Amino acid sequence: MKLSQHIRQLARERHEHVVYLRRHLHRYPELSFQEENTARFVAQELDRLGIPYQTGIAGTGVVAMIEGQGQSGRIIALRADMDALPIDEANDIPYKSVHPGIMHACGHDVHTASLLGTAAILQAIRHELPGTVKLIFQPGEESVPGGASLMIAEGVLEHPAPALIFGQHVHTPLEAGKVGFYSGKYMASSDELYLTIYGKGGHGALPNECTDPIAISAQVISALQQLISRMNNPLTPSVLTFGKINSRGGATNIIVEAVDLEGTFRTMDEEWRAQALEHIAKIAKGIAEGMGGRCELKIARGYPTLYNHEALTNAARENAGEYLGPQHVVTLPQRMSSEDFAFYAQKIPACFYRLGTGNPAKGIRYPVHTNRFDIDESALETATGLMAWLAFCSLEKNPV
C-alpha cells in the first residue's frame, strides 16, 4: 500500500476518536493563557499515544516530538492554537460550551484535536518518517502579544530547530473536504489603538466656554481616514477602523471632559506599518492640541504581516492536490484579518493554509467569531490526514 493510501486509512480509522477530542475541547473552552485543563487534556492524549512532550511553555503551551527513523536529521514543526473567545454560545448541540461567556468560536478546538489526530497518524508511521516532527500546542493566539511570540521567546524554534512550520485554520466559506492556499503576503498585521481626547466640560448651551472632546474626536477620526486614502500607497492593502467611542459621562446638554476611542490598524507592509503608526500619533495629537484639547495615545503592537513562503506553500499545494485531488485544492484571496502564526513565519519558512469546514446544506455557514459557529466534522478526517501527509512530504522532499 502506498503511504498516502495508508495515511488516508489511518485518518478514517481515527476519525471517530478525533471527533470525540474536538467535542470535548469545544465543551470545555478556556480563554487565552488560561488553557490549563486543555493543556492537561493534550498531555493525556500524548501519553496515550506514547509521544514524549514538555509542558508549561509560555504558561500553558505543550511541545511534543515524534522522531522518525530516517538519517537526514531534518526537523519540521506543526502548530495548533488552543484558546477560546469570550463569546456566549448560541448553538443547541450536545457539546455546547458549559462555560457561560466562553466559546470555541474560532475553531481552535478543531486545530488542537486535528493536531492530536495527526500526531496519532505520524506516530503510527514513525518508522517511515525520514526525520523528526515537532508538535506545538500553543496558548493565547487571540490575545496580544500572542502565544506564538512568547513560545518563540522561550525557545520553541530551537533545541532542536525546525526547518519549516505548518499551521491550518478552519474556514467556513470553504466546503468540508477542501483546503486553500495563498503564497506570499497572506494576512495583515494588526495593531490596537487606544486614544483619549481631553477637553473642558460644561453646559451644552455654552460651547464657547468649553472645549468639546466629542467635536475633536470627530475631527480626529475623519482626518485619520486620510491616512489610508492620501498617505498610503494605493497598491498596499490597509485598513483603519475605530470600533468603539465612549464619552465619559454626559447627557444631551452636557459637554464632557473626555472621550475614549478604540480602533485597529492593519496593513500588508511592515515598513508602511511603522510609518503609519507614527502618522497616527502626530495627526491625533496635533488636531487635539490645535482645537484646544489634548490627546493621549497608546498603541498596542499586535501581530505582523503573515508571509507564506512561496516555495514551501507551492509545494504544499501540489502535495495537497496529490492527497485530496486537485479539485479539492483552491487558491485563497488575501485577508485583512491577522494571526500570530505570523511570528513563526518571521523566523523560518512557514505555510498557513485554510481547512474547509462549511456545509450550507446542514446549516453550517456561520463565520468564525460568531456565537453560532460550528463545523462539518467530516473536515476532521481531511485535517488530520492532510497535515500528516504534508509533514511526510516536507521531510522527504525538502521543499526549502
Report helix, strand or coil for 258: strand
Give the Cα separation of 121 and 5 in Å (integer). Answer: 12
Q: DSSP per residue over 24-67, as a string? A: HHHHS---TT--HHHHHHHHHHHHHHT--EEEEETTTEEEEEEE
* Contact (CB, 8 A) for 188 and 335: yes
Q: Is 83 a catalytic residue?
A: yes
* Of 141, 191, 269, 339, catalytic: 141
Dihedral sign, Cα of residue 390, residue 168, residue 164, residue 62: negative
Report which of 197, 208, 204, 281 is spatially closest to residue 250, judged by C-alpha positions: 204
Residue for cell digits 491550518?
168
Q: Is 141 a catalytic residue?
A: yes
Residue for cell digits 495548533?
80
* Of 83, 89, 269, 339, catalytic: 83
Which residues are bridge partners to 308 per DSSP?
184
CA dihedral 295, 243, 356, 133 (to 10 degrees): 30
- C-alpha distances in angstroms, 384 versus 9, 52, 214? 11, 19, 52
Q: Enumerate the active-site residues.
A: 83, 141
